[in-house]
Structures are given as C-alpha cells and as structure tokens.
C-alpha cells in the first residue's frame, strides 16, 4: 500500500449540501478501489490562480489515503467526469 493525496477543487457556485456530496463521492471512490482514507483537509474557499469555467474562486479539499498502485488511475478516471469538479490531481506522498 502506498500513500496518496487527492486534491480536488470544487465549484464555488453550488450549495453546501452539493459540495459535501461531491466530496463524499470522492471518498466513496477511494474506498471502492480499496483505499483507506487517513485524513480529509478542507481549505475552504480560495481564489483560483486563473479563471476556470468563468469562475475565479473554488473550494479546495485534500484527501490523504492509502491504496494499491492501480487505484489512483481508476480514481482519476472517475473524478474527471464528475460534475462541479473544476480540477483534481492524485499524487503519491510517500516517495523519497
């Protein structure tokens, strides 16, 4: 098992319940592909470095998890098509 982090930028134009649902779906995807969530870091609403889909702000979430090496590709392929996700990235955090 390797340590990974999923960074997700969620649209600021949606309601709190919808935003929570998007993050919950990301967590469910991680668990579906055999991952174990260790930490969820909510950075809140931040200004984007550049405009994305005519938006200047987004909500940032960082989800740390342990998973097999095949899981990140599967997770990214599912997050890519999720509504209200502006940007995402899975990185491995335990490399030396």
Span 64-75, pLDDT tens digits: 999 999 999 999
Q: Give the span between the Cα atoms of 57 and 59, in whole angstroms.
A: 7
| pLDDT tops 70 at residue 89 | yes
| The model scores a pTM over 0.75 | yes
Give domain limits for the chain.
12-55+69-84
Span 14-51, pLDDT tens digits: 999 999 999 999 999 999 999 999 999 999 999 999 99
Strands 85-92 and 55-67, bridge-based pairing: unpaired
Q: What is the mean pLDDT of the chain?
A: 93
Q: Give the span between the Cα atoms of 71 and 35, in whole angstroms.
A: 7
């Amino acid at each position: 098992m390797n340590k990974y982090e999923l960074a997700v930028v969620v649209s600021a134009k949606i309601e709190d319940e919808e935003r929570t649902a998007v993050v919950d779906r990301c967590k469910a995807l991680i668990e579906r592909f055999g991952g174990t969530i260790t930490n969820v870091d909510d950075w809140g609403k931040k200004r984007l470095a550049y405009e994305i889909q005519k938006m200047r702000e987004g909500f940032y979430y960082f989800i740390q998890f342990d998973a097999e090496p095949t899981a990140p590709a599967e997770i990214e392929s599912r997050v890519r098509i999720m509504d209200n996700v502006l940007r995402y990235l899975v990185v491995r955090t335990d490399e030396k």
